[in-house]
Structure 1
Amino acid sequence: MQQPALLFLTDWDGTITEHDTLSLVAPTDTQVQDGKNTFAYYENMYQETMSKFKDDYGPIDSENTLREYIGDVLKAEKITLNKIIEDGLFQGIRGDELRSRVSQVAFRPGWDQIQAWICAHTPCDCVHAYIISINWSRQFIHEALLLNTKEKQGVDCNTTGFEGILANEVEECTGICTGRIVGPNGAPPLLTGIDKLNIFRDIRSQYVKEPITLYLGDSVPDLLCLLEADVAIIMGNNPSLLKALDDSGLSLCMRTIANLRDVVQHGNLPDQTMLVRTNTWCQVMEIITVLTDNIDALCTLRAKRRT
C-alpha cells in the first residue's frame, strides 16, 4: 500500500452535506408496510431517549467527562436502532427504492471543488481519503457522491475518489432488505464516537509511517476523532458540538485559518490537535493547500517529535 503523507478523513451527514440524510435513506410513509410505524415515530423516540439520557447524565465540564459521555451514550443509541430492527422498518423493501432519493442530497458549498481535488490526488499523490459515518447506508453515500460528480462536473465515472466509505448498511438479500442494519463488513453497527474513533485508528494503523491526519466533522460523535487528528476542522455551527466544546474547555484550543497557516509555515506542530472551525468547503480548501504545501516539513517535524 502506498504511504500517504496526508490522511483525509471526514464525516458525511452535516459535514459533506448541509443536512442529515437519514430521512432520505429511511422508507417513505408510502413504502412502510401496513401496521408498521413510520420513520417519524422512531425520530421522536430517538429525541426523547437522548433528551432523557442527557438530563440524567449531569454536567459535562471537562474533557475527561466529555470523553466518558461519548462512550456511555451507546446504551441510549441502541434503544432506537434495536427497535427499528425489531419492528422491521426496512424489512421487505427493495434496496434500490431506499436509494431512489440520492438526488435530494444537498451538499455544502464548495464540496464540488473538494471532491474534484480528491479524485485528482488520491491515492497517487500520497493523499488517502476516507468517509467515516454512522449513517445507515454506505451504498446511499456512494451513489450520492457519484451522482453529484456527474451532475456538477459532467463526469460519469464509477469512483468517488475515496479509498473507503466506512458506514452502516441496510442488509439486503437478493436486492430485498432483511430488516437488519449492520456495520462495515457485517460487523456490529457504528453508533457512537467511540466506534468512529476505532475506525479512525484502524485506518491510520495501516501505514508504517504515520501520516499527517486531517479530520472533519460537525457533531458530538465526531469529537473523539477531531481530538485525535493533527488538524481538525469543525464544520458549521452545530449548537450541541459548540456547547460541548465550551463546557469542556476545548473551545480554548480553537484557531483561525490565518493562525493555522502561520503555525504551519513557521514549522511548528503542537502536541495537541489544531482545531479550526469553518462553514464551507471553500475554506477547507484553503487549509488543505496550507497543509499540502508544507507536508514534507510537517511530516519531518512530527517524526522528530515522536522519536
Structure 2
Amino acid sequence: MAASASASAAIIFNVLLRSLRTQRIANSAYKAVAKQAQDRCRISRAVGDDDTVMLLLLDWDETLTCHDTLSLIAPPEGSQPHGAAFSTYSSAYSADLAAYKSQHAEPCTLDEQLKWLDGLDEVELKSQERIEQGGLFRGALESDLLQRATRVQLRRGVDKLAQWAQSDGHESEVHIISVGWSARFIEGSLKHHLSWVPNSIHANEVELNSQGIGTGRLTKSASVTSSSGGIRTSTHKAAEAASIDLQARKERALKGLTVYAGDSGTDLNALLSADLGIVMGEAKGLKEILNRIEQPDWLIEMNAWLEERRSGRRRARDHTLVRVDDWLEAVQVLQELHQ
C-alpha cells in the first residue's frame, strides 16, 4: 500500500511540475508553487478526529450549480453582436473533443489519465481562438452578463454551505476554482442567490473595456499563471489550488485540512491532491475514470465514510473521495470534520 501511495503522489507531482514549467511563472513564484504542489500531492493522510478544515476549494459548474453554465455566459442565440451564435462554437468544440478521443487511447493508469487530461489543452485553446476570432463576446454588455447570472440554478443545499462558511466556530476559507469563462458571472450569481461570495474566485474572464463592453478576448486563451486567467485543465486547477494552499499556510499561518469538492475529470488532479475530496452528484465520468485506472476504492459513499469515521474502523486508502448527493450531505461532511 505504501509503495502504491508513493507512486501515486509522484505521478501527480510530476504532472503538476510539467504544467508549472510551461506557465512562465517568475522563478521565485514557480519554486514556491512547485514546492507546495509537491507537499500537497503526497498520500492523503488519515483524517484524524482533531483535524479541522482550513481550506474548502470548490469547483463551480455542476458542483455548486445544477447544470453547466457556459451557455448562460454566452449571448443568447441570435443576440450576439458579431459572428456566429454560441451553438456553432459548441458544435465545433464537440467535434474537436471527439477527434481528440479517437486519436488517443483510453488511459489505463493514473499517469496516463493525467497526461490525457493535460492533452485536452489543445482542444481548449483551439476553441478559445475560434471564439475570439469569431467575435462572440465583442460588443457584449457586462450588464447583460450579470442579468443572465441570476438565472443559474444552484444545487440543493448551497444555501447551507453559505451559512456554514459564515458561521462562528471555525476559521475556514472558501475559494472557487473554475475553468469557466467568467469569475464576474460566478460572483454575480452568488450575490444574487445567496448574498454571499467566497474568499476568492479563481476563474477566467470575458475581457471588458472601461465602459463594460466586451473586447472579444477571453483570458482563458492566455498563458497560465498562478494569479491570472488561463485555467483550462485539470493540472491548471491543481496548480491554482496549490498556490492558494501555499498562501494560506505561509502568509496567513492557517492550519488544518484542505478539502476540494468537484464533479468531473477536470477536478481529478485537485481532488487527489487534497487531504479529502468531496465528489458531488452522480459523477459518472469520475467513477468511470476510477474504474478504468483500477482505483474504485478511492471513492466512498458519505454514509459509509461517516460510519468508518465514527466507528474508528477506517480503511487505508491512497486517497479518500467522499461522494455526496448534494450540499446538504456535503455540509454534513464538513460538520463532521469540525466535531
Give the shorter-chain TM-score range. 0.7 to 0.9
CA distance in 2 between counterparts of 1:188 and 1:86 reads 18
1:103 aligns with 2:140: no
* 1:1-307 equivalences in 2 (<5 Å): 5-33=53-81, 36-121=83-168, 125-149=170-194, 157=195, 159-160=196-197, 162-174=198-210, 175-182=212-219, 187-206=228-247, 207-208=249-250, 211-265=256-310, 266=312, 272-293=318-339
Gap runs ≥5 in structure 2: 1-51
- Measure the CA separation in 2 of the matches of 1:172 and 1:59: 39
Residue 273 of structure 1: CA displacement?
Answer: 2.1
Q: Assess if the C-alpha contact under 8 Å between 2:61 and 2:69 holds in 1.
A: yes
Structure 1 residues 68, 233: closer, same or farther in 2, change over 3 A? same
Structure 1 unaligned runs (5+)?
Answer: 150-156, 294-307
Deviation at 1:268?
A: 6.3
Question: SS where residue 287 of structure 2 aligns?
Answer: helix
Cα drift, residue 257 of structure 1: 2.0
Distance change >3 Å, CA 251–CA 188, structure 1 → 2:
same
Asked whether the equivalents of residues 297 and 317 of structure 2 are also in contact (C-alpha less than 8 Å), the reply is: no
Q: Percent of pairs identical after alignment?
A: 27
- The superposition leaves residues 199-256 of structure 1 with CA deviations (integer Å, 9 ceiling, x where unpaired) of 0000111113653011111111000011111111111123322211211122221223
Which AA in structure 1 matches 2:209? C
- Runs of 4+ in structure 1 deviating by more than 6 angstroms, as ranges, are none
Rounded Cα–Cα distance in structure 1 between residues aligned with 2:239 and 2:204: 14
Letter of the 1:143 partner, please give it.
Answer: G
Counterpart of 1:12, as a letter, is W
| 8 Å CA contact 1:264, 1:290 repeated in 2 | no
The corresponding residue for 1:296 is none
Other structure's SS at 2:175 match:
strand
1:89 aligned counterpart, secondary structure? coil
Q: Secondary structure at the match of 1:100?
A: helix
- The alignment's TM-score, normalised by the length of structure 1, stands at 0.84
Distance 1:25 1:5 in 2: 32
Count of residues in correspondence between the two structures: 278
Contact 2:226–2:243 (Cα < 8 Å) also in 1: no
Q: 1:260–1:274: 8 Å Cα contact kept in structure 2?
A: no
- Deviation of 1:192 (Å): 0.6
Stretch of structure 1 that moved more, 210-219 or 233-242: 233-242
SS at match of 2:323: strand
CA RMSD of aligned residues (A): 2.1
Question: Is the 1:204–1:211 Cα contact (8 Å) retained in structure 2?
Answer: no
SS in 2 for 1:140: helix
- Partners in 1 of 2:103 and 2:297 — Cα distance? 27
1:258, distance to aligned residue in structure 2 (A): 3.3
Shift of 1:279: 1.4
| Distance apart, 1:68 and its partner CA | 1.0
State the one-letter code of the partner of 2:205.
E
Contact (CA 8 Å) 1:110, 1:281: kept in 2 or not?
yes
Contact 1:264 1:291 in 2 (8 A): no
TM-score normalised to the size of structure 2?
A: 0.77
Matched residue SS, 1:104: coil
Distance 1:140 1:82, change over 3 A: same
Q: Evaluate the alpha carbon distance shift between residue 47 and residue 197 of structure 1 in structure 2; reply closer, same or farther with a 3 A threshold.
A: same
> Deviations 1:245-301 (Å, cap 9, x if unpaired)?
2111222212232332344443969573211111111110111111111xxxxxxxx
